[in-house]
Amino acid sequence: MTVHTPHPDLPPPTLSVGVLGWLRSNLFSSPLHTLLSLFAIYLVYLTVPPIISWVFLDSTWVGDTREACSGTTGACWVFVKVRMNQFMYGFFPESEYWRINLAFGLLIVLAIPLFIKKFQHKGKLAIFILVFYPIITFQLFSGGNFGLTPVETSKWGGLSLTLILAGVGIVASLPIGIVLALGRRSEMPIVRSVCVVFIEFWRGVPLITVLFMSSVMLPLFLPEGTNFDKLLRAMIGIALFQSAYMAEVVRGGLAAIPKGQYEAAEALGLSYWKSMGLIILPQALKLVIPGIVNTFIALFKDTTLVLIIGLFDLLAIIQQAFADPDWLGFSIEGYVFAASIFWIFCFSMSRYSMALEKKLHTGHAR
């Protein structure tokens, strides 16, 4: 009888691993790749150092007036610094800034336990955040009760307005989208047609049109004397518009769930809503996290369009600051600032979605 002895593992050749191996396989694997790599390095050399010196090295950070920036070749961040309050809070009365701070601070404090693994009551807390937190925030922003001075929505603005629009849009569009997606796959013809018409209508019109309709046309159709808030109308418009997109994303996820999952849930005696809620949706939503977050990011950036109906979100309020005769000619700084804020929020959402995908992955093949 022969005995099989396994061959011992040998170390790999030196040039295939480590820094050298990486460089060789990724940058200099062929003459063409070498040429392209060198060209790319040259481009980086051309662009990155000037940007760094404009943003950091040659820029001005201290001072309160335009004069502080005279004579520098870099960015004048003093402009952003002086206007910072307006960029964050819009035209909210300065004495009431604490209310906005409190609202966002409260959200952060409430959200922290959601990220603590051992915390037991995540579901209850999430319901509290979704149901009661918006009421508290609304009270804090608009005032009028509990001895708070009323602040009209036209005074809301800046980053806080952007976050409110995006937050309401995100929180409303996901559930509406899920219901629409389920409706579109329903076997009941009336439910299905209503959902199809709704989705196709909202997907077929540009968001700008929706916002215009909501602010200019809608009041013409409403009976005289009914007046509801412009901001509210914009929120509803954004939420319905994005929910149509969300519905299609979710529908993609639903279609990807094998028929066997529906059958197994049915065979166990689960009702339609239970099998959707416990079996199908958790899997479908997990599959389409990238698509959902994609829609959220698009929504976040689309909130800038409210500018055209006279609401001053972050971008609008920054643009409005360019017109200040004391600070003419600092639009680049303003736009760079706006872009970085948007980028930070969108990038965080993107990273969060990747972390979530990883966390929810249960190692199943199908």
Partner 1 sequence: MSETDNAPRPSEDSADLTIEMRSVHKWYGQFHVLKDINLAVTRGERIVICGPSGSGKSTMIRCINRLEEHQQGQIIVDGTELTDDVKHIDQVRKEVGMVFQHFNLFPHLTVLENCCLAPIWVRKMPRREAEAVAMEYLEKVKIPEQARKYPGQLSGGQQQRVAIARSLCMNPHIMLFDEPTSALDPEMIKEVLDTMIELAESGMTMLCVTHEMGFAKTVANRVIFMDAGEIIEENEPHEFFNNPQSDRTKLFLSQILQH
Residue 192 sits in the site that holds partner 1 (CB under 8 A) = no
State in angstroms the smallest separation of the CB of 365 from partner 1. 6
Looking at the Cβ atoms of 189 and 204, the one nearer to partner 1 is 189
Q: Residue 86, interface with partner 1 (CB under 8 A)?
A: no
Distance in angstroms (rounded) separating the CA atoms of residues 284 and 29: 41
Supply the minimum distance, in Å, between the C-beta of residue 286 and partner 1.
7
274 contacts partner 1 (rule: CB under 8 A): yes
- Smaller CB separation from partner 1, 78 or 284: 284
Among 37, 261, 294, 319, binds partner 1 (CB under 8 A): 261
Beta bridge partners of 60: 76
CA-nearest of 364, 167, 169 to 282 is 364
Residue 124, burial from CB neighbour count under 10 angstroms (0-12, 13-18, 19+): exposed
Q: Which stretch binds partner 1 (CB under 8 A): 186-194, 196-204, 205-213, 277-285?
A: 277-285
User: Which range touches partner 1 (CB under 8 A), out of 164-172, 275-283, 297-305, 327-335?
Assistant: 275-283
| Minimal distance, residue 277 CB to partner 1, in Å | 9
- Considering the complex, what minimum distance in angstroms separates the CB of residue 1 from partner 1? 24
Sole window of 67-75, 248-256, 266-274, 342-350 interacting with partner 1 (rule: CB under 8 A): 266-274
Q: Is 122 in the site for partner 1 (CB under 8 A)?
A: no
Check residue 256 for interaction with partner 1 (CB under 8 A): no
Q: Which stretch binds partner 1 (CB under 8 A): 57-65, 124-132, 279-287, 294-302?
A: 279-287
Q: Which amino acid is at 108?
A: I
Residue 262 Cβ vs partner 1, minimum distance, rounded to whole Å: 9
Residues that bind partner 1 in the complex, under the rule CB under 8 A: 258, 260-261, 263-271, 274, 278-279, 282-283, 286, 360, 362-366
